[in-house]
Amino acid sequence: MPPTTNPRPIAMLGGTPAFLEPLHVGRPNLGDRTAMLRRVNGMFDRCRFTNNGPLVLEFEQKIAKHVGVKHGVAMCNATIALEIAIRALELRGEVIVPAYTFIATAHALQWQEITPVFADMDPATHNLAPATIERLITPRTTGIIGVHVWGRPCDTEAIEAIAGKHRLKVMYDAAHAFGCSHHGQMAGSFGACEVFSFHATKFVNSFEGGAVMTNDDVLADKMRLMRNFGFKGFDNVIYPGTNGKMTEVCAAMGLTSFEAVDDIVAVNRRNYEAYRASLSGLPGLSVIQYDAKERNNYQYVVAEINPQIAPLNRDELVAVLHAENVLARKYFWPGCHRMEPYRSLQPNAALLLPETEKMAARILLLPTGQAVSVEMVGVICGLIQGAFQSSEAIRAILSSTASSAAVSP
């Protein structure tokens, strides 16, 4: 085991927390505040706050150009974007999705009375395993939604080959993957369409926001109608729709954040490499790798904890870090299939998800982004190293705490 990067008493063993304030996994990246305020002042001068204003149009054009697609259709958030894309593709019946994803991927289907059929993950990539898809296809299956987990794109070739064989539609939840590539082609340009998230916790953010990317002119026009109640011109509703529009102030933040994309990626990569260097060699702990031949946003620092080898398991390490005000996260614990309503509707789903079950109990996300310095990374790594070295004492405290909680009235 490498020497502790920053030796200090662990809070759980009587020390003081390493950080005075909570350190989140995804604190927002701010960009140039002056540029942001200039855009907001222009918005106030125009008195145009929503309804496809000039900032939204500019944001759409810039992200579409960055990805290399014809259309970027900005939305108020990525969940609404998923729902609109699903409806625009006329998916119905059953749609195959990975169980290892954020719950919005499944909910976007369930809300439209489409059954999400959960497929297992590839443990090497954490993405939907193409080999598990065909056994889930039934006469009711109409599509596949792949998810580019951690920004590492799916095996799009295999997924789309299976879809073509069975005449299924394919779209992707690319919430993590803005600025990432697959075989040199940018995420956002695969399948019928792809959905990005620009939520405040994403490395490029628009406060709240999302966008659907596509090269399909008809699909893009359809989604633009659907996000604005179906209006085509004044007083002319030609399609059932909802309110999925992005506001001008969100587009202002999106543009400001996008301008800083290279700087943010550089910070993310710096932190990622610092974590990997400091944590390498720890027994049972590995930090996922990004393909150096591809473009990556390095938005997530993801550690996998093997409980058969590591001195502490994932949940024990989370407890240690939370006591230090390091709010490491268990993504995507416990898997969509073990959340409601799916655990009630599909109680036996776990039988077909052995890799998801195993990996969901091992994954830990660590803080990064512009709010995290290399020195802070060093402290966090020192805490992890120190926790591994003091594993027996930590387990004794956790066991005592659990026993006291069990007998409390």
Question: Which pLDDT tens digit goes with each residue over 21-50?
Answer: 999 998 999 999 999 999 999 999 999 999
Look at 400 and 316; give whichever has higher pLDDT: 316
Q: Could you give the CA distance from residue 277 to residue 262 in angstroms, rounded to a whole number?
A: 22
Both 316 and 183 in one domain: the answer is no
The answer to whether residues 6 and 378 touch, using CB atoms and an 8 Å cutoff, is yes
**Residue 383, domain member (yes or no):** yes
Q: Sorting pLDDT into bands at 50, 70 and 90, what band is 1?
A: very low
How many structural domains is the chain composed of?
Answer: 2
Q: Sorting pLDDT into bands at 50, 70 and 90, what band is 4?
A: very low
Both 293 and 194 in one domain: the answer is no
Q: Could you give the CA distance from residue 8 to residue 339 in angstroms, rounded to a whole number?
A: 38
Both 272 and 398 in one domain: the answer is yes
Q: What is the pLDDT of residue 6?
A: 47
Both 311 and 376 in one domain: the answer is yes
Question: Which residue, of 222, 243, 259, is where some domain finishes?
Answer: 259
Both 317 and 375 in one domain: the answer is yes
**Each residue's pLDDT tens digit, 351-373:** 999 999 999 999 999 999 999 99
The answer to whether residues 24 and 370 touch, using CB atoms and an 8 Å cutoff, is no
CATH number of domain containing 287: 3.90.1150.10
**Each residue's pLDDT tens digit, 217-238:** 999 999 999 999 999 988 999 9
**Each residue's pLDDT tens digit, 259-310:** 999 999 999 999 999 999 999 999 999 999 999 999 999 999 999 999 999 9
Q: What is the pLDDT of residue 401?
A: 77
Q: Answer whether 0.85 is exceeded by the pTM.
A: yes
Both 249 and 276 in one domain: the answer is no
Residues forming a β-bridge with 337: none
Q: What's the residue count for the chain?
A: 409
The average confidence (pLDDT) of the chain is 95
- As a whole number, mean pLDDT of residues 195-203 equals 97
Nearest to 302 by CA among 343, 337, 331, 345: 331
Q: What is the pLDDT of residue 400?
A: 84
**Each residue's pLDDT tens digit, 79-137:** 999 999 999 999 999 999 999 999 999 999 999 999 999 999 999 999 999 999 999 99
**Which phi and psi angles does 214 have, rounded to 5°?**
-160, 155
Q: What is the pLDDT of residue 295?
A: 98
Question: Which residue, of 191, 226, 259, is where some domain finishes?
Answer: 259
**Residue 41, domain member (yes or no):** yes
**Residue 23, domain member (yes or no):** no
Q: The domain containing residue 199 runs over which residues?
A: 33-119+127-259
The answer to whether residues 232 and 238 touch, using CB atoms and an 8 Å cutoff, is yes
> Using CA of residue 280, residue 284, residue 285, residue 291, what is the dihedral sign?
positive
- Lowest mean pLDDT segment, chosen from 140-154, 169-183, 225-239: 225-239
Both 249 and 280 in one domain: the answer is no
The answer to whether residues 117 and 111 touch, using CB atoms and an 8 Å cutoff, is no
